[in-house]
Chains A and B, each alone.
Chain A
Amino acid sequence: MKQFWRTQRYLVDFTISSLQRRKGKNLSLLLVYTLIVFLLASVMLFCQSLKREAAVILANAPEIVVQRQVAGRHALIPGEYLQKVGRLRGVSQKRGRLWGYYYDPGVKANYTLMVPAEDVPNPGEVVIGAAFSRVRGVGVGYYFNLYSSANKLFSFKVAGILDTESELVSGDLMLMAESDFREFFTIPEGMYTDLVFNVTNPREVQNVAGKINERLPDTRPILREEILRTYDAIFNWRQGIVFVLLSGAILAFVLFAWDKASGLSGEEKREIGILKAVGWETGDILRMKFWEGILLSLTAFLFGYLFAYIHVFYSSAVLFSPVLKGWAILYPDFSPIPAVDGLQLATLFFFTVFPYTVATIIPIWQAAVTDPDTVIR
């Protein structure tokens, strides 16, 4: 047994010497390989983290949100509907919500304006999200102006800034008094953006939703589990930029493997012939090539993953921010919370290390089993 491992060490010695002979090529191979793993691992870690945060935070979203639709579009909902829906067993609380969007042409950013249920700001005062204050450049005590759709000027004083730790959900928020909201958007009394229902027993939610559907036919209920499912599907590997990234990486790997598998150069064949001629078995040759594959792919995987980990969790995925920001001016400042899914990590390992190692061994199979006699010819 000891002898077996001594032999493997010698094979590794030989393989490293062998790789060093074509330093430039092999170093660039390692670099590109590491880069690919880095990219894939970064995406994987970032998405996992975000999905988990979404799941944790939005588990506290209201159980049912009722939206009214007119001609297929989201329309204002009358507060009377709260009475019209009648008594629903299991509903602990129900209220109307007021919220909407405002586009600020000065900074080209979209804000979400909202009327809170508790701690309502005084008329004329607002509480804003941390990203909002950064983009607009306003702090507590500052005044700023917004123009309503009637081109009327509204001046607001910043009474407070929401906790920067909650930026992921509140970065673009502007909380204001109900009277201000209705005046600004010209929304009449008694009309709301949507209704929220809190249901204590999760098993009752479907029933309640069903009854709401019956009694308020021009509305659609949105369940919390649907909200959670939406965010679970975010960054889904099957679509969009993530898919392009994945395809790119797979293509790169296929290219590597093809390059390896497209046969050996004459020099490589000769070398294998020499090794066999001096007494190496086919098994030794194959094992040596296996070590070559593992050496490169394992190193690339470990480096790539470690850099990805540092990139995502210690520098807040700085390379992705241009992509994620897209055209948005307002972007929440947040640090992803580490969440490592063992299964995805194992999959990444398998799909990066295994194909390359196999691709290294397969083409030499033919040469490894041939009689060494060809060497002297």
Chain B
Amino acid sequence: MRKSTLYMALCLFLGGAFLCSLVDANIREKTMIERLTSSILLTQELGLTDLALFTEARYTRHPSQADLHSAFQDHPMSFEHFPTGSFVQPPAHLVP
């Protein structure tokens, strides 16, 4: 079998899988959006303001509610205690 034939077959397969993934993303998105309903209801009822993703510290648990100083409360130059801080920054509206 020609090598180019083999490669084209591989590309076709991968391309097909890629398209499948796009379709799958579309389908799953629609079905899973319903799963957010309970989160949405709870947010409305309790008036929640943040995701419970990073529970290490106040300013990572509620980044939108954190004041400018909470991250630096121990020392102005102490950059970061937690690994999370490297991807949760002070709220945008507080930082110029």
Contact = CB atoms under 8 A, between A and B. Distances in A.
A302 B10 CA distance: 10
Contacts of B61: 101, 110, 112, 172
A162 B35 CA distance: 14
A137 to B, nearest CB: 17
Interface residues of A, number: 87
B21 A60 contact: no
A165 B63 contact: no
B9 interface: no
Interface string B12-43: 00110110011011101100110111111111
A332 B52 contact: yes
A232 B88 CA distance: 11
Contact of B87 (A74, A131, A234, A338): A234
B87 A73 contact: no
Chain A interface mostly helix, strand, loop or mixed? mixed
A119 B15 CA distance: 52
A330 interface: yes
Contacts of B92: 226, 229-230, 232-233
A242 interface: yes
Nearest to A310: B21
A111 B61 CA distance: 10
Contacts of B21: 305-306, 309
A181 interface: no
Given A61-B48, A227-B49, A241 B87 contact: yes
Nearest to A298: B11
Q: Mostly helix, strand, loop or mixed at chain B's interface?
A: helix
A259 B88 CA distance: 36
Interface in A189-204: 194, 196
Most chain B Cβ neighbours within 10 Å, of A62, A101, A131, A169: A169
Given A72-B69, A295-B7, A338 B29 contact: yes
Interface string B57-78: 1100101110111100000000
Contact of B25 (A114, A117, A172, A313): A313
A327 B56 contact: yes
Contacts of B58: 101
Name the residue among A163, A165, A239, A328 with the largest chain B CB count within 10 angstroms. A328
B21 to A, nearest CB: 5
A133 to B, nearest CB: 14
A231 B33 contact: no
Given A72-B69, A229-B93, A169 B56 contact: no
Interface of B: 2-4, 6-7, 10-11, 14-15, 17-18, 21-22, 24-26, 28-29, 32-33, 35-58, 61, 63-65, 67-70, 82-89, 91-93
Given A13-B4, A169-B43, 11 more contacts: A12-B3, A60-B44, A169-B51, A170-B39, A226-B91, A230-B63, A239-B86, A303-B14, A326-B54, A337-B36, A338-B29
